[in-house]
Amino acid sequence: MVADADGKTSPLVSLLAGGIAGGVEAACTYPFEFAKTRVQLYGHEKGVRNPFYVVAKVAREEGLGALYKGCSTMIVGSIGKDAVRFVAFDKIRSLFEDPSTHRLGTAQSIGAGMVAGVVSSTVIVTPSERIKTALIDDAKTTQRFRSPWHCIVSLFREEGLRRALYSGYVTTTLKQIGTTGFRLGSYSAIKDWERARGVRDVDGPVVSFANGAVAGTVTTLATQPFDTVKTQAQRARATGTVEAVTTIMKQDGVRGFWRGTVMRLGRTVMAGGILFTANEQATKGIKAVLGQ
């Protein structure tokens, strides 16, 4: 069966729609992610703090294609991440929602999102983020990785499985708990609030984009320090979480934990809008194809 008996979205539809949405979002917003990562790694150096300058400089000196270094890894990771977390969120949400209204309170929505974040971080996010960050760092330094697969093999030989793919796991998971909790939780809460007040077409592309953008803004402001530490820990030469925190403090002090906020905020607002719009439209399209 593809659809549940009560007409709710089935896990298969959630998996497919979430994967499509994640791939679309990653492909559209990757230059923001590239610049944010460079600023987080080298923001203490002169002329590297402004993410827009980073984009212009890389495009001018290395070509536009360089802005997509590690993009394939990000797309694959995003497809898996969003497929897993939408499925996990839908199933976890169903355990706590009111059976008569199929709605959750704000705290329950955020809690369901946080649990989904742990699942997605463990299954797909930490390994894909580690490889993406290593590729972006390597492109500025040694330039020894020829491809994502070559990067994986090289790191595995040099550092073993745990450090090769799971460096920064703690901070990535904390970030995902916050990101998924705030993003999915706040998005769900906004939709429930709109439905309760009779807002029409809450699943339409315009409303979905606006709701996703609001959810993305909340998410970024709440989780930026975790993202910065995660990036520092996952550079080409992996470091521990404590060493990453110490490095950031030495370079920039407390404000260093908010490196890349502007670019990440821009990406997250766009990503939130694109992600939820693509997911809503993909869900509708898949259900139509499957005759639901």
Per-residue pLDDT, 105: 67
Residue 165 host element (H or E): helix 148-166
**What is the domain extent for residue 122?**
11-289
Tokens 């946080």 locate to 114
What average pLDDT does the structure give for the chain? 78
Encoded amino acid at 178, one letter: G
Cα distances from 39 to residues 2, 28, 157, 198, 287, in angstroms, run 44, 20, 28, 43, 41
What pLDDT shows up at residue 104? 67
Residue 6 located in a structural domain? no
Q: Within a domain: residue 128?
A: yes
Report the C-alpha gap between 102 and 282 in whole angstroms: 21
Phi, psi angle pair for 202, to nearest 5°: -65, -15
The answer to whether residue 142 is domain-embedded is yes
Asked whether residue 92 is domain-assigned, the answer is yes
User: Is position 33 within any domain?
Assistant: yes
Query: pLDDT digits over 79-96, tens only?
Result: 777 677 667 777 777 776
Number of domain units in the chain: 1
| CA dihedral angle for residue 125, residue 128, residue 134, residue 136, rounded to 10 degrees | -100
CATH code where residue 169 lies: 1.50.40.10
pLDDT of residue 3: 43
Dist. CA 155–CA 127, nearest whole Å: 12
Over residues 176-229, the pLDDT tens digits come to 787 777 777 777 778 888 888 777 777 777 787 788 778 777 777 778 888 888
Q: Is the pLDDT of residue 244 over 70?
A: yes
Q: Is the pLDDT score of 4 beyond 70?
A: no
pTM of the shown model? 0.60
| Mean pLDDT, residues 248-260 | 84
Task: Note whether residue 2 is domain-resident.
Answer: no
50-76 per-position pLDDT tens digit: 667 777 888 888 787 777 877 787 777
User: Would you say residue 55 lies in a domain?
Assistant: yes
248 touches 186 (CB < 8 A): no
- Residue 4 inside a domain? The answer is no
